Amino acid sequence: MELHFSQDFGIDVEDDGEELAGRELAVPGGRHEHLLKSGLLGRCDDPFCTTCPSYIDYSAGSQMKKSRNLFSEAKSVALGIVKWRPAIYNPHTKVIQRWNQVFGVCCLIAVFVDPLFFFIFSAKQGYFCIVFNQELAIGVTIVRSIFDGIYFIHMLLQFRLAYFALASQTSGTGVLIDDPKTIALHYLQSWMVRFLPLLFGRSQSGGYIFETAWANFTINLFIYLLAGHVVGSCWYLFGLQRVNQCLINTCRAERPVCRKEFLDCGNGHNIQALQQGARLVWTNSSNASSKCLVNASFAYGIYSIAVPVAMDDSAIHKYVYSLFWGFLQISTLGGNLQPSLFVGEVFFTFGVIGLGLLLFALLIGNMQNFLQSLGRRHLEMQLRRHDVERWMRRRELPVVLRKRVRQAVRLKWASTRGVNEEELLDRLPEDMQKEIRRFLCFELLTKVRLFTVMDDKVLDAICQRLHEMLYIEGSEVFLADAPIHRMIFVVRGTLDSVWKNGNTHTLVSGDFCGEELLHLCLNEALNTSKRDSSAPTRGLAFSTRTVRCSSSVEAFSLEEKDLRYVVANYISYIRNPRVLSALKSESHYFRSNAARRIQAAWKSHIRRQSRNPLRS
């Protein structure tokens, strides 16, 4: 992928542009060329995302040009078909988020489908045999195969889904990995083989699939209903097995008139043809109906109600009643069950009671924990929004300004999740505060080339004084000819820098602005001997450009008083020629000054030549 960098200062700065382009490529995880090649499937659709790199946002500046002619578009489509490769998906794209929701619902439905296989068997009252429902079996098999195909697609999707490396989370966010081989190895080692897709089939990269409390309450209630469905289906199957056992015992007692194959009626299509000869003699003379089916004397225990259910011809009636029975027993913890002396029946009753207790405890515990954690955050957010709305109404702010305030509050909440880092750090010991601030900020500072040549002591001092700043799209960080009170170091997002002459430049992750303040502090520190030490008045730095956010921006700020402290106490380190050289080469302020001076000198030279043409 070819990157272009240009400076509009009136002179050619090709070498500096190439240097900046090279530095821009040196970001964690590379430039994510696989995601960029994936088009819309590789972009981040979360407007308040603080994790994905800002350049993976096709809504800003990567859209296709409308001026392309028909031939070029046809050519690009043809090349795309020839060089087609499976896309690498961003976990924050809308397609993946929707797929995760659909897949979670499909997993629950698939587990619902499995016990339906128990209902393909039923008992025939007039023929004293077990019938196989072929139509129902085919239908359930097709439905289950569809869900198996969906799960297989989900497994394949994991090999093309980018993920965030946990080992590199140094600032609360991870590094987005989009290399296909690394992704495949990651999922083969971790999540390729999963047990119980219902419980563990959720994506690990997106947090909650359903973020609302009501949606998660519905999921928990759905799982509770699923347990009743499984228990009711097992109750039906075990009841039918007891009917079959009763018929077997009766057949053994009536030998040789009865043979074992009489108890199998197949799919029931040709049951009338089977009812002849020895089988007809046995059904007419047998007392299997009174022993096993109608007013049965067999000890069915908890399966006594399942006998008429098993003889019903309607699959819907059998399923609905079994679901009701299972849900009833789960809700009442099996308190009304009276099993017979059959050991399997007793153990099944034990299982129903234990499962009911377990699910009830888990349901109450999960819902309580989730509502407490999620509800507390949502309540706090709602209260904060309510206070902001009341304040805006009281101050009668215009509608446009109210909208921007709401966006700023949402971005702040999405980034911090309601956690005040400054307040949290202030409660910790001082040495621990220094370690945490160094851990959070040191790696980010080293992305700025200006700081890579500075001593670690200076970087530590800066780390202790950096403050996190969040800007929404359209926010004006600096205004031309306005005083500057802080330096801004961009962590994530893009900003547009507009000079007085109309030239523009884009600031990305690793860039900084407000260096006019640093220039002023350096001049004051380097020229202290020429100034009267008794004069406390300090100069003001004025911005030479307007800096405006073109997207949501996360940055660190260094306030004026903190910058003066660092410069005053570490002036010996900052006087290093490498530091001054890096400052001049990286700073757009110094570059613009140099460009203007060169332009002024060139214009002066042209004027002199025009006045004295003979000298030339």
pLDDT in tens, 456-514: 788 888 888 888 888 888 888 888 888 888 888 888 888 888 887 777 888 888 788 88
Residue 615, pLDDT > 60, answer no
Task: Give the confidence band of 142 by pLDDT, cuts at 50, 70, 90.
Answer: very high
Average pLDDT, integer, range 61-74: 44
> Residue 202: left (phi > 0), alpha (psi -120 to 50), or beta?
beta
Are 455 and 579 within one domain? yes
Residues sharing a CB contact under 8 Å with residue 160, sequence separation 6 or more, in sequence order: 86, 87, 88, 89, 180, 183
Decide which of 357, 379, 414 is a domain's last residue: 357
What is the percentage of the chain residues whose pLDDT exceeds 70?
69
pLDDT digits (tens, 9 = 90+) for 80-105: 444 445 667 777 777 777 888 788 88
Average pLDDT, integer, range 598-603: 80
Round to whole Å and give the CA distance between 315 and 580: 83
Please state, in angstroms and as integers, the Cα–Cα distance from residue 271 to each residue in 275, 285, 361, 396, 503, following that order. Answer: 6, 18, 49, 83, 90
247 domain residue, yes or no: yes
Residue with tokens 């993920």: 163
Round to whole Å and give the CA distance between 344 and 509: 66
Reference 408, options 346, 476, 347; nearest CA is: 476
pLDDT digits (tens, 9 = 90+) for 434-466: 888 788 777 767 766 667 777 778 888 888 888
Decide which of 308, 330, 357 is a domain's last residue: 357
Structure tokens at 549: 């956010």
Q: Do 227 and 113 form a contact (C-beta atoms < 8 A)?
A: no
Task: Give the confidence band of 534 by pLDDT, cuts at 50, 70, 90.
Answer: very low
Beta bridge partners of 559: 486
Are 130 and 258 within one domain? yes
pLDDT digits (tens, 9 = 90+) for 386-401: 888 888 888 888 888 8
Are 351 and 470 within one domain? no
Structure tokens at 522: 């350096």
483 domain residue, yes or no: yes
Look at residue 477 in the predicted model and tell me its pLDDT: 87
Residue 275, pLDDT > 70, answer no
Average pLDDT, integer, range 158-177: 62
Among 189-198, 227-236, 281-290, the minimum mean pLDDT is found in 189-198
71 domain residue, yes or no: no
Beta bridge partners of 492: 554
Are 320 and 462 within one domain? no
Q: How many domains does the chain divide into?
A: 2
Phi/psi of residue 559, nearest 5 degrees: -70, 165
Q: Do 408 and 474 form a contact (C-beta atoms < 8 A)?
A: no
Among 389-393, 563-567, 584-588, 609-613, the minimum mean pLDDT is found in 584-588
Average pLDDT, integer, range 191-212: 46
Structure tokens at 611: 């006045």
418 domain residue, yes or no: no
In this structure, what CATH number is given to the domain that contains residue 523? 2.60.120.10
63 domain residue, yes or no: no
Look at residue 449 in the predicted model and tell me its pLDDT: 64
Beta bridge partners of 89: 161
Are 241 and 105 within one domain? yes
Are 349 and 450 within one domain? no
Residue with the larger pLDDT of the pair 538 and 104: 104
Reference 292, options 279, 280, 304; nearest CA is: 304
Are 325 and 453 within one domain? no
Residue 109, pLDDT > 80, answer yes
Are 328 and 458 within one domain? no
Q: Do 63 and 106 form a contact (C-beta atoms < 8 A)?
A: no
Please state, in angstroms and as integers, the Cα–Cα distance from residue 543 to each residue in 7, 131, 522, 524, following that order. Answer: 19, 87, 16, 17
Decide which of 333, 357, 381 is a domain's last residue: 357
Look at residue 191 in the predicted model and tell me its pLDDT: 58
Look at residue 450 in the predicted model and tell me its pLDDT: 66
**H-run or E-run covering 187:** helix 180-189
Are 343 and 446 within one domain? no
Sign of CA dihedral 451, 454, 458, 460: positive
117 domain residue, yes or no: yes
614 domain residue, yes or no: no
Are 329 and 452 within one domain? no
Round to whole Å and give the CA distance between 226 and 313: 24
Round to whole Å and give the CA distance between 166 and 170: 9
pLDDT digits (tens, 9 = 90+) for 285-323: 777 777 787 777 788 888 888 888 888 888 888 888 988
Are 448 and 328 within one domain? no
Are 217 and 310 within one domain? yes
What is the percentage of the chain residues whose pLDDT exceeds 90?
1
Identify the domain containing residue 513 by its residue range: 442-527+539-602
Reference 465, options 330, 549, 558, 366; nearest CA is: 558
pLDDT digits (tens, 9 = 90+) for 14-67: 333 333 333 332 334 445 666 655 555 566 666 656 566 555 554 443 344 444
476-478/467-471 β-pairing: unpaired
73 domain residue, yes or no: no
Q: Do 293 and 309 form a contact (C-beta atoms < 8 A)?
A: no
